[in-house]
Amino acid sequence: MIGNLELKITDPQKQIANPAEVPDHYTDAQKAKIENAAKQFESLLTSMMLKSMTKTSEGMFGDKSFGGDYFDTVFQNEIASFISKNKSMGVANVLYKKITGEDMDSKAQSSQLSPLNNGSNSDLKLNNDSIPITPSTKSTDRLSRYDDIINSASQQFGVDKNLIKSVILTESAANERAVSSEKAKGLMQLIDSTAKEMGVSNVWDPKQNILGGTKYLAQMLQKFNGNVDLALASYNAGPQNVEKYGGVPPFEETQNYIKRVMGYLNHLKGAANGTEQSI
């Protein structure tokens, strides 16, 4: 997985290690895949450079804005993708040439490069094979304050602690005072009716909010026989919509929500297993 890295790069091509020995000849389809992977690598590297450059100014949107750290990530990755596709630094071409022995043919473009990030309330689209999502340092720092509560909720309701954390990061970026346009509140963005149903008397109390949100998530997991995608779809769009459509509803917000939660989940599991990647 991709860790939180700070980069000081004067020559991006120095970040490219010598590749392993590879075959001399590739089919057009294989070359297209290599080209796409090289472009994604350059886009990721550009995104990390932008993140490092904006760190001292607390990001593009500042430190205090609700959702700012999420939108920082979105815009950094979108800008990186745009730069890589429209004014390349040359990293992708160097990688491609090292592997294939040829220069990229700009007239034979591979499938469009997918954005590196996505989330609810955005027009970004991802396929499941795109580069995993990583939370901002600021949101994970906030989230660490609630480790004991999350661990307790995980044990009490039998929900993976990293799934709870991923939902919190997606719902509120671990901001306990967050309020959505739909009046969902707190870390796990509980609406009043759900909070009351889960026995939450004070939605602003982090412990009650996390326990209530986890209890509801556990109920959705049980309702859909442990299917995480359907449980998350229910958490976002309501179980009635999942039942109505016989699966994940055809709502872009809900589909992006699931991808974002799962991206965070994969990142957290990779960090716990010590498998984060570095460049």
State pLDDT tens for residues 114-123.
333 333 333 3
CB neighbour list of residue 161: distance below 8 Å, 6 or more residues apart = 150, 151, 153, 154
In a domain, 193, yes or no: yes
262 and 156 assigned to the same domain: yes
* pLDDT band at residue 125 using 50, 70 and 90 as cut-offs: very low
93 and 143 assigned to the same domain: no
Alpha-carbon distance 132 to 260, whole Å?
9
Catalytic residue among 6, 42, 102, 171: 171
What confidence tens digit (pLDDT) does each residue in 36-45 have?
787 777 767 7
253 is catalytic: no
200 and 88 assigned to the same domain: no
Mean of pLDDT values over 191-215? 97
- The answer for 174, left when phi > 0, alpha when psi is -120 to 50, beta otherwise, is left
Highest mean pLDDT among 78-82, 126-130, 267-271: 267-271
Q: What whole-number percentage of the chain has pLDDT above 70?
A: 62
156 and 265 assigned to the same domain: yes
25 and 151 assigned to the same domain: no
Tell me the average pLDDT of the chain.
76
Alpha-carbon distance 35 to 86, whole Å?
15
What confidence tens digit (pLDDT) does each residue in 225-237 have?
999 999 999 999 9
Question: What CATH number has the domain bearing residue 217?
Answer: 1.10.530.10
pTM over 0.75: no
Domain boundary among 100, 123, 146: 100
Mean of pLDDT values over 40-54? 67
159 and 263 assigned to the same domain: yes
151 and 65 assigned to the same domain: no
85 and 147 assigned to the same domain: no
Q: At what angle do helices 228-237 and 161-172 cross, to 10 degrees?
A: 30
- For the cut 50, the answer to whether the pLDDT of residue 8 exceeds it is yes
Q: Where are the alpha helices (DSSP H) in 87-199?
A: 91-100, 137-143, 147-157, 161-172, 192-197
Domain boundary among 100, 118, 151: 100
In a domain, 108, yes or no: no
96 and 172 assigned to the same domain: no
Question: What total of structural domains would you count in the chain?
Answer: 2
Per-residue pLDDT at 73: 57
159 and 244 assigned to the same domain: yes
Q: CB–CB of 157/148 below 8 Å?
A: no
Q: What is the domain range of residue 82?
A: 12-100
